[in-house]
Amino acid sequence: MKLIKNLLLIFVVYLIASCSGSDDSAGSSTQNPSDGSSDVTSITLSLNKESYNVGEACFYVVRDNFNSVITDQVIVTVNGTQSSVNPYLFQSPGTYDFIATYDGLTSNIVSVEVQLPSDYSDTSTFDSTGSPSTFTKKALLEDFTGTWCPQCPGAASAVENAVNSSENIYGVAYHDGDPMQISETSFWSSYYHVTGFPTVYVNGPDTRWNYPNMTQINNEISEQATLGLAIEADIIGGKLDLEVKVGFNSTPSEEVRLMIYLVEGSATSSSAQAGSSQGVNYVHNDILREVYTDQLGDVIPSSYTQSGGIYTRTITGLDLPGNTDDLGDLKIIAYVRNTYTKTFTDYFGNVWVDSPHYDIYNLQEVHVGESVSFE
């Protein structure tokens, strides 16, 4: 009996010593504020966007290493000054550094560049020298399409395959009669007497592509180019700034015009695609979202098209359309074309006398945020 009591006394002393040791350890570290069960060893700060414009506000969130939100328990400083509000309003352009601290822990630094958009301007200049002597001929596949058209996915697939086959082939989809239609695409369908869908032009309506045969396209890109283009495009403060250069290695014998497109690389539509089992999940490629010139092109003055010279068009402060899904997936396509009339027979055998036509001399494409030189 006495032995049992001694053993029990030793066990109780051991328990007291063990609990006392645990309490000392817990008191020397930061615990998970959500339930106090484990130690917090790091905190992470994040913002709701990667870039902002003057007048916009950012929301910041701080999480611990257990992914628990602890924003209301931390101190956030912006450029060294403690922030008392969330969201934080950007009132002037510049670089803003966000950092959070919590119970001796310091977060990552998040830096954002806040920009003020350029004022709108549109200027043209000409330098009589500097143009390269040779250019690479490129082809533009202009696809008249619509989600209501069951044959259109086949043409779109052929365009995609052609574009992927060569760096000198580009595509653009002109949607008519669906939510991706813009005023220019519906106008062009009527103006150029596009009566059959799909219709795919190769560098203008004089060549209707017999897809997927590549002969017509290869004939185009094998021609000698008489001009070339270079483009720079950036989004500054939520608006688009563009510089398009046209170099001439010979003087055109006719009036030429510049076209500038804003194209979204890929997106879905609220309208189900006929002819496809994917419905509203069907991915449309190279969607024309905006035209930044006249719908029939802006005339380049003849004094700016002389052989050996470079014509430069600079446009700043352009509005971006609200129909784009992903600003990071935007491209600029610019091309130079002529304009004339021609009698032709359409898809259904109808004869159109003096129908408007054009040929594309050459073109260039660049992703927004990048630049491409003469090629």
DSSP string, 166-203: -TTEEEEEEE-SSTT--HHHHHHHHHTT--SSSEEEES
Quick one: 107 and 183 in the same domain? Answer: no
Contact 341, 356 (CB under 8 A): yes
Residue 134 has pLDDT above 80, yes or no: yes
Instruction: Kindly tell me if the per-residue pLDDT of 38 is higher than 90.
Output: no
> What share of the chain in percent tops pLDDT 70?
90
State the pLDDT at residue 58: 94
Q: Which domain holds residue 254?
A: 121-372
Q: Same structural domain for residues 330 and 215?
A: yes
65-124 pLDDT per residue, tens = 999 999 999 999 999 999 999 999 999 999 999 999 999 999 999 999 898 888 999 999
Q: How confident is the model at residue 14 (pLDDT cuts 50, 70, 90)?
A: very low
Q: Is position 191 within any domain?
A: yes
327: in domain: yes
CATH of the domain at 75: 2.60.40.1080
**How is 332-361 classified by DSSP, letter by letter?**
EEEEEE--EEEEEE-TTS-EEEEEEE--EE
- One domain, residues 49 and 158: no
What's 270's domain CATH number?
A: 2.60.40.10
230 and 158 belong to one structural domain: yes
In whole angstroms, what is the distance from residue 101 CA to residue 91 CA?
24
Give mean pLDDT, residues 263-281: 97
| Cβ contacts of 168 within 8 Å, gap of 6 or more | 136, 137, 138, 139, 221
127 and 107 inside one domain = no
- What pLDDT score was predicted for residue 12? 37
101 and 249 together in one domain: no
Reduced to 3 states (helix: H, G, I; strand: E, B; else coil), residue 230 is strand
* Other Cβ atoms within 10 Å of 88 Cβ, number: 19
Mean residue pLDDT across the chain? 91
**Domains: count for the chain:** 2
Shared-domain flag, residues 165 and 261? yes
For residues 35 and 45, the answer to whether their CB atoms sit within 8 Å is no
Q: Are residues 222 and 82 in the same domain?
A: no
The residue among 85, 115, 145 that closes a domain is 115
Give the chain's end-to-end CA distance (angstroms, integer).
101
Q: 65, 90, 115: which is the final residue of a domain? A: 115
Domain C-terminal end among 55, 81, 115: 115
Same domain? 365 vs 286: yes
| CA–CA separation, 79 and 93 (whole Å) | 13
